[in-house]
Amino acid sequence: MKIANYELIFQKRTFSITGFRAIAYRILFVIFGLMTVGFIFLLNGINPLDLFFLSNRSMLRIILILLPHTFVSFIPLLCIAIGLAIPFKARIDNIGAEGQFIMGMLAATWTAMEFPDLPSIVLIPLMFLNGFILGAIWALPVVFFRAKGGFQGADVVVSFLMVFPALYLMQYLVSGPWRDPATGFAFSKILPESAQIPGIPIEIYVPFLDATWNFDPVHISIFLVLIIALVTYYYLFRTEEGIPKTKIGYEINVTGKNPLAGRMAGISFFKVILISMIISGGLAGIAGVAEIAGNKLRLTVNSAGYGFTAIVVAYLGGLNPIGIIFSALFFAALISGGTAINLTGLPVSALDMFSGIILFYVLLSEFFFRYTIKWRRS
């Protein structure tokens, strides 16, 4: 690229940035993102330093006070983002996790309404199983169109389009067949007790905040998703002496970096995309079950949009489960800190701008990880 007398040179990096340097750079880019957001707030007459840190109602303070709430959004974000990291690593862009997440919620509701008399110990696992299956099924069209069709971008298009039938199906069900006659709203019935995932009944008084952390709304699925994160990390992502533990982990790496060479060596593209999309859709489905059975307890016409936010979470986490745990925490905190933005008088949608800008910087950092940028006089 030429600008006046200077030439801007993008060079592909020979040695990728890894380890602590990668983490440091990611954090740096997030800070850039926060600064950009801060600048926009400044233009709106709000002192970003007050908003972020200093005032009594700063985001930081609110996030800390609402820490248990942070964990509520952390659960679905983590679970979906882990699922997304797998196809992303194989260079399959599943941007429709939202639809798979919704299908998980539907599966949970249906199962709970259909078998209310089963004991929890059977019913809840059954809900998770159905959520996984339905989420995975919702991801399957992506597999066929991407692997068997001739269009390379089919994954993006198909996965995104699949969000809408899921959304409308949910809206139809809660305003029609599943509607709770006892309320005037488009709600389904509250799940039967046996289908509710219990919360964590801990209360901690935090003196320096002068507030009490009430962990009750944090349901115990948090352990399930953490285990999922660690298992995925161990079997698919972690390398020992540069080699993943499992064959499929290796095949995902190869397919993501050069599917042509993979195919030449006999790696089936179809198999890799099938497995990664099943896991991906399935985990989004599991997140949907956890959300319904632990948090919302009934289906409504809206979904929280975790499926989209999780895309940013997955990338900010460097497509690595351990990193994703931290980036999911960060975004969950942002979501609960959104209350603070509300208090400033800006619309809540300012929060979407927040994650949009962070995504922008995260993608910029991905570019920076792959390329070096130099100036040269021409």
Complex with another protein: residue 65 or 228, whichever CB lies closer: 228
43 binds another protein (CB under 8 A): no
Give least dist CB 364 to another protein, A.
19
Strand order in the sheet with 2-3: 2-3, 6-12, 371-377
Complex with another protein: residue 14 or 152, whichever CB lies closer: 14
Give least dist CB 4 to another protein, A.
15
Of 358-377, binders to another protein (CB under 8 A) are 372, 374
258 binds another protein (CB under 8 A): yes
266 binds another protein (CB under 8 A): yes
DSSP 301: S
348 binds another protein (CB under 8 A): no
Contact 251, 241 (CB under 8 A): no
Identify the residue among 83, 87, 262, 288 touching another protein (CB under 8 A): 262
Binding region for another protein (CB under 8 A) out of 38-46, 80-88, 245-253, 336-344: 245-253
Contact 327, 316 (CB under 8 A): yes
14 binds another protein (CB under 8 A): yes
Q: Which amino acid is at 230?
A: L
Length of the chain: 378
Identify the residue among 11, 47, 302, 349 touching another protein (CB under 8 A): 11
Binding region for another protein (CB under 8 A) out of 162-170, 211-219, 240-248, 357-365: 240-248
Q: Going by C-beta distance under 8 Å and a sequence separation of 6 or more, which residues neighbour residue 225? A: 75, 78, 79, 82, 286, 287, 290
Identify the residue among 39, 227, 231, 263 touching another protein (CB under 8 A): 263
331: its two tokens: 């975004």
Contact 88, 324 (CB under 8 A): no
Complex with another protein: residue 271 or 298, whichever CB lies closer: 271
Q: Which amino acid is at 196?
A: Q
Complex with another protein: residue 185 or 371, whichever CB lies closer: 371
Identify the residue among 183, 212, 302, 378 touching another protein (CB under 8 A): 378
How many of the chain's residues bind another protein (CB under 8 A)?
33
4 binds another protein (CB under 8 A): no
171 binds another protein (CB under 8 A): no
Identify the residue among 70, 111, 188, 253 touching another protein (CB under 8 A): 253
- Contacts for 155-161: CB closer than 8 Å, 24+ residues apart: 155/87, 155/92, 155/93, 155/94, 156/93, 156/95, 158/96, 159/93, 159/94, 159/95, 159/96, 159/97, 159/99, 160/95, 160/96, 161/96
Give least dist CB 233 to another protein, A.
16
CA distance 230 to 325: 10
Kindly give the pairing relationship between strand 6-12 and strand 243-244: unpaired
Binding region for another protein (CB under 8 A) out of 8-16, 39-47, 181-189, 282-290: 8-16
Q: CA torsion 313→317→319→325, rounded to 10°?
A: -80
Binding region for another protein (CB under 8 A) out of 21-29, 48-56, 111-119, 263-271: 263-271
Give least dist CB 344 to another protein, A.
44
CA distances from 205 to 79, 201, 273 (A): 29, 13, 48
In 3-state terms, what secondary structure has residue 3?
Answer: strand
Complex with another protein: residue 89 or 219, whichever CB lies closer: 89
Four-residue CA torsion sign, 363, 250, 320, 99: positive
121 binds another protein (CB under 8 A): no
231 binds another protein (CB under 8 A): no
248 binds another protein (CB under 8 A): yes
Q: Going by C-beta distance under 8 Å and a sequence separation of 6 or more, which residues neighbour residue 27? A: none
Complex with another protein: residue 21 or 263, whichever CB lies closer: 263
185: its two tokens: 């709203």
- Positions that interact with another protein (CB under 8 A): 9, 11-16, 240-248, 250, 253-254, 257-258, 260-268, 372, 374, 378
